[in-house]
Every structure is written in C-alpha cells, then in structure tokens.
Amino acid sequence: MRTYLPLLLLTLMGLTGCVAPTKYDWGSYESSLYSYYKDPAKIAELSKSLADTISTAEKSNKPVPPGVYAEYGFILHQQGKSSEALLFFEKEKSKWPESSTLMDSMIQMASRSNKSVKPL
C-alpha cells in the first residue's frame, strides 16, 4: 500500500496540472444567443452581450473570441449602422485571417448598404 501512495500522489498532481484557464472570456454570449434564437425580439440583449464581451476582452488585453466581432458587426448592419459594422468586420478579418473570405463578402455587403443610404 505504501508503494502506491507516492504514485497516487504524483498522478493526482499531474491531473491537476491539466486544468488550464480558458483562453477566451465569452461572457454571457452563449446564454444571450440562446435567448435570441428562442425569441428574436431579444436582439438588444444579444447586442449588449457582444459589446460587453468585446469591451472586457479589449480592456484586459485578451483576444476577442472568434466570430464575436463578426456577429456584432452583423447586428449593427441589421440595425442600419453599416459604417460601424464595417469596422467590426475589419477587426474580425485582421484578428482571424482564416475568416478573410467571409469577411470580404460581409465588407462588400456593408459597403454597398452604406453607399445606398442617403443622408437626411
């Protein structure tokens, strides 16, 4: 029994070393996205959650989770804020180069919408 005790302790210490902190702080993104899917009228809740997630990550110099800039940009675009949406599509593209093809399409879409909106 005594010979197994050091082995057991080493195993337990090794397993506790496997628990790593998460790289991204998703905030309340998951729950607000689920709420939005169940009730699309909750878009303001989702928009606030995304804005908070972005703000928190940028303030703490952590990477913004993948897709969050794009999701927030798309919500802004749906609200008619195409020039603001462009900024977030560009951020997504620069932070996540693998999204370039999709972001280029979103940038073109928002640019066309931005040009078609006439100032009051």
Average pLDDT of the segment spanning 59-85: 94
- Supply the pLDDT for residue 23: 82
Looking at per-residue confidence, does 30 or 120 come out higher? Answer: 30
- Supply the pLDDT for residue 8: 63
Question: What structural domains and CATH numbers belong to the chain?
Answer: 25-114 (1.25.40.10)
pLDDT per residue as tens digits for the range 94-116:
999 999 999 999 999 999 987 76
- What is the reported pTM? 0.76
* 110 Cβ contact list (under 8 Å, min separation 6): 73, 77, 82, 83, 85, 86, 89
- Alpha-carbon Rg for the chain in angstroms: 21
3-12, 22-31, 55-64, 76-85: range with lowest mean pLDDT: 3-12
Q: How many helices, marked H, and strands, marked E, lie in the chain? A: 6, 0
